[in-house]
Chain A
Amino acid sequence: MRYISNTPAQQKEMLGRIGAASIEALLANVPTKARLSRPLGLPAAMAEADLVRHLRALAAKDASADDYSCFLGAGSYDHLIPSPINHLISRGEFFTAYTPYQPEASQGTLRTIFEYQTMMAELTGMDVANASIYDGASSLAEAVLMAHAVTGRNETAFSRGINPLYGQVVETYCEGPDLRLKRVALADGVTDLDALRRAVTDRTAAVVVQYPNFLGCLEDLREAGEIAHAKGALLVVAADPVNLGFLTPPGALGADIVVGEGQGLGVPMSYGGPNLGVFACRAELVRRMPGRLVGATVDRDGHRGFVLTLQTREQHIRREKATSNICTNVALCALMATIYVSIMGKQGLRRVGELATAKAHYAAARLAEVPGVQLRHRAPFFKEFALELPKAPERVVKRLLRDRILAGVPLKAFDRGAKNALLVAVTERRTKDEIDAYAAALAAAVA
């Protein structure tokens, strides 16, 4: 067995030293009644070549974005992943290291997380960011719990513009502490501010909006923030950080907590996971923030060093009074994002946004030219938009698969009132040829 080093001779030697007749003797504490009396019913071990063949065959059944034009969004995006990232994160010192609890032996990881925290704070326009949590949805749930802890209030005004999958996760997290999500309606693709004003009371812990929202539309965060703060509530914003090289950051528009899905920052889509939960907040809220934090300090010789800090908030010390039960962060994904942002840099991230929005606006115009197809909302959008189709979107999607196009996400599953709607995302990876081909295929599909 290639992952087990001890030979039978060495096992015998070790047993001799221990004074046990066999490994069975070491398992004496496991009652016979508890013992499995047969081998596990699993497929037999596969040699590497056979296993590779088997997995390649499985993977070949999937419509990868290498072979299909991917216009899917809704929380996962086909953004460019620069080549150095995979090489660097594959260094064994990074990916086989543990959580940096022994900081002297983990300065590599700690420094990259410190850089990551800086970058996320910069992008979101907030004072401080944590070392990452699981994904955008659970980050949002943690933000809602944090707002409840900070304000002592039990309700949130929750825009219907938030990704419904995120909404489900937030509901699940809110069951324990019995928090109420008051849904606020949309008006033509963005949060209805009058409805929001009516929904926010002095029992509201937070106003929660997404930017751009699930339908791709740009929300008026400043106004939402003013409504929230007028009643002593926090403004919680869910934002895709890859857009924030171009878009005004939520921190500049009144946000108290910013969360988001960082997958677009160099993390593969990988059928939905692992992801990168970004979490940032204002300085005065830092002690209530869940998740790990890396801070700068000095060592005995006065040299700069980095450590996990404010750990007493976390589960391993605070236990049932912890800010959250979270244990891991997604360190390797945060490292991908750190390297991505270093590569893109000050100018590149802006350029990614410019390319994405230019192509998205071109695509929206071309697709809306197809007879019977319309743009569903008039609100300004960024890299994603909803179309109203004259035929059932699931059938259009199925038809376009044959043209090697992943056309978009039918919205009927999320909103019964949207049974002809299709959500289309366009990143900097989509070429003019792909977009034109999509328009032609769509025209044929709805004719």
Chain B
Amino acid sequence: MSNVPADLKYTKEHEWAKVEGDRARIGITAFAQDQLGDVVFVELPKVGTKVTSMSTFGVVESVKAVSDLFAPLSGEVVEINTELPKKPETVNRDPYGQGWMIVIRMTNPGEASALLNAAQYEQLIAAAGH
């Protein structure tokens, strides 16, 4: 199943980013949540935390695995999805919508061009043999 929205950007580590002006909304992809299995816990940073491109900003846990979350872009965390710690299953159910994790104010919007587009990300996950 290929659920890769065309209007988003992607990382090799299976995060997506939606650029909204000087901000970017970030989450994990449908492929990632499928690989993880049922998400049981999401650990998010505090508002105000500074992140740099491909540094870790949190952790997502399932029953059998735990994965670091990598920031696609550098910036400052301005919003976090406070619903997720209470309802981690939202990540499985709606990874691109209500399963969003953080919003950052970008310090270097140019970094977005180095991210994968939808076609490139589709190729990546196809090559992973899924």
A adjacent to B, CB under 8 Å: yes
Contacts of A311 in B (CB 8 A): 63
- B31 lies within 8 A of chain A by Cβ: no
By size class, the interface of chain A is: under 10
- B61 lies within 8 A of chain A by Cβ: yes
Contacts of B63 in A (CB 8 A): 311-312
Would you give the 0/1 interface string for A280-318, flagging 1 where the beta carbon is closer than 8 Å to chain B? 000000010000000000000000000000011100011
The CA of A287 and the CA of B66, in the complex, are separated in Å by 13
Contacts of A313 in B (CB 8 A): 66
A312 closest partner in B (C-beta): B66
Whether B65 pairs with A317 at a CB distance below 8 angstroms is: yes
Whether A287 pairs with B41 at a CB distance below 8 angstroms is: yes
Contacts of B62 in A (CB 8 A): 312
Which residue of B63, B64, B65 has the most chain A CB atoms within 10 A of its CB atom? Answer: B63
Which residue of B43, B61, B62, B64 has the most chain A CB atoms within 10 A of its CB atom? Answer: B61
Would you give the 0/1 interface string for B14-46, flagging 1 where the beta carbon is closer than 8 Å to chain A? 000000000000000000000000001101000
The CA of A313 and the CA of B40, in the complex, are separated in Å by 12
B61 closest partner in A (C-beta): A312
Say how far B37's CB is from chain A's closest CB, in angstroms: 11
Whether B41 pairs with A317 at a CB distance below 8 angstroms is: no
Instruction: Give A311-336 interface residues, CB cut-off 8 Å to B.
Output: 311-313, 317-318, 321
A318 closest partner in B (C-beta): B66
By size class, the interface of chain B is: under 10
A319 closest partner in B (C-beta): B66
The CA of A415 and the CA of B121, in the complex, are separated in Å by 65
Say how far B3's CB is from chain A's closest CB, in angstroms: 25
B60 closest partner in A (C-beta): A312
Say how far B61's CB is from chain A's closest CB, in angstroms: 5
Contacts of A287 in B (CB 8 A): 41, 43
Contacts of A312 in B (CB 8 A): 40, 61-66
B43 closest partner in A (C-beta): A287
Contacts of B61 in A (CB 8 A): 312
Contacts of B40 in A (CB 8 A): 312
Say how far B2's CB is from chain A's closest CB, in angstroms: 28
Instruction: Give B50-91 interface residues, CB cut-off 8 Å to A.
Output: 61-66
Contacts of A317 in B (CB 8 A): 64-66
Say how far B80's CB is from chain A's closest CB, in angstroms: 17
Contacts of A321 in B (CB 8 A): 66
Say how far B116's CB is from chain A's closest CB, in angstroms: 26
Which residue of B40, B65, B66 has the most chain A CB atoms within 10 A of its CB atom? Answer: B66
A307 closest partner in B (C-beta): B63
Contacts of B41 in A (CB 8 A): 287
Contacts of B43 in A (CB 8 A): 287
The CA of A317 and the CA of B63, in the complex, are separated in Å by 10
Say how far A20's CB is from chain B's closest CB, in angstroms: 37
Which residue of A287, A312, A317, A318 has the most chain B CB atoms within 10 A of its CB atom? Answer: A312
Say how far B85's CB is from chain A's closest CB, in angstroms: 11
The CA of A321 and the CA of B56, in the complex, are separated in Å by 13
Say how far B93's CB is from chain A's closest CB, in angstroms: 20
A313 closest partner in B (C-beta): B66
The CA of A274 and the CA of B51, in the complex, are separated in Å by 46
Say how far A187's CB is from chain B's closest CB, in angstroms: 39
Say how far A82's CB is from chain B's closest CB, in angstroms: 39
The CA of A312 and the CA of B64, in the complex, are separated in Å by 6
Say how far A261's CB is from chain B's closest CB, in angstroms: 31
The CA of A313 and the CA of B62, in the complex, are separated in Å by 11
The CA of A21 and the CA of B62, in the complex, are separated in Å by 49
The CA of A317 and the CA of B40, in the complex, are separated in Å by 15
The CA of A163 and the CA of B125, in the complex, are separated in Å by 55
B67 closest partner in A (C-beta): A312
The CA of A179 and the CA of B126, in the complex, are separated in Å by 46
The CA of A318 and the CA of B61, in the complex, are separated in Å by 10
The CA of A369 and the CA of B29, in the complex, are separated in Å by 77
Say how far A430's CB is from chain B's closest CB, in angstroms: 49
Say how far A44's CB is from chain B's closest CB, in angstroms: 49
The CA of A321 and the CA of B43, in the complex, are separated in Å by 14
Q: Which residues of A contact B (CB under 8 A)?
A: 287, 311-313, 317-318, 321
A to B CB contacts below 8 Å, 16 in the list = A287-B41, A287-B43, A311-B63, A312-B40, A312-B61, A312-B62, A312-B63, A312-B64, A312-B65, A312-B66, A313-B66, A317-B64, A317-B65, A317-B66, A318-B66, A321-B66
Q: Which residues of B contact A (CB under 8 A)?
A: 40-41, 43, 61-66
13 extra interchain contacts, Cβ-Cβ under 8 A, other than A287-B41, A312-B63, A317-B66?
A287-B43, A311-B63, A312-B40, A312-B61, A312-B62, A312-B64, A312-B65, A312-B66, A313-B66, A317-B64, A317-B65, A318-B66, A321-B66
Return the 10 tightest CB-CB contacts between A and B, nearest first: A312-B66, A312-B61, A318-B66, A317-B66, A312-B65, A317-B65, A287-B41, A317-B64, A312-B62, A312-B64
